[in-house]
């Protein structure tokens, strides 16, 4: 089975699992899943977030997701418990479709590591 087909299958399974748990019957999109990862990484699950905090949560998630690829490295937690990352290597210029595939692959790998999917 090709890598792309396996990724697609895992992605669809993951979207189904997360959508059933966090959505009212609608499939979560890529941004919503990235947001959920940011909330999980912050560890403050049951609270409301301001608009700028939501952007920061997505940034945390992206850094965490791309850390295994060598683009970011965890640096420290600030006084409020927010994780901070530093850039290790600049992301290459990718087309929108390529970005989407990279993020889906990183998300699938993240949840394989969390043992939510295999």
Q: How far apart are the C-alpha atoms of 76 and 25, rounded to whole Å?
A: 37
When divided into structural domains, the chain yields a total of: 1
Domain enclosing residue 23, as ranges:
3-113
Give the count of beta carbons closer than 10 Å to the beta carbon of residue 50. 8
Helix (H) or strand (E) holding 24: none
CB of 9 within 8 A of CB of 102?
no
Side-chain half-sphere CA neighbours of 97 within 13 A: 0
How do residues 108-118 score in pLDDT, each as one tens digit? 999 999 999 98
Q: Does residue 68 sit within a domain?
A: yes
Question: DSSP character for 115?
Answer: T
Q: Does residue 118 sit within a domain?
A: no
Q: Does residue 87 sit within a domain?
A: yes
How do residues 45-88 score in pLDDT, each as one tens digit? 778 899 999 999 999 999 999 999 999 999 999 999 999 999 99
């Amino acid at each position: 089975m090709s890598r792309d087909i396996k990724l697609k299958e895992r992605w669809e399974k993951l979207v189904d699992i997360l959508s059933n748990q966090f959505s009212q019957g609608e499939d979560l999109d890529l941004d919503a899943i990235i947001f959920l990862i940011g909330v999980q990484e912050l560890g403050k699950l049951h609270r409301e977030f301001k608009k700028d905090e939501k952007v920061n949560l997505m940034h945390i998630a992206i850094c965490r997701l791309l850390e295994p690829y060598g683009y970011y490295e965890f640096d420290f937690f600030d006084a409020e418990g927010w994780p901070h990352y530093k850039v290790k290597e600049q992301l290459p210029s990718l087309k929108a479709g390529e970005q989407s595939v990279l993020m889906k692959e990183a998300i699938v790998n993240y949840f394989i590591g969390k043992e939510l999917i295999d």
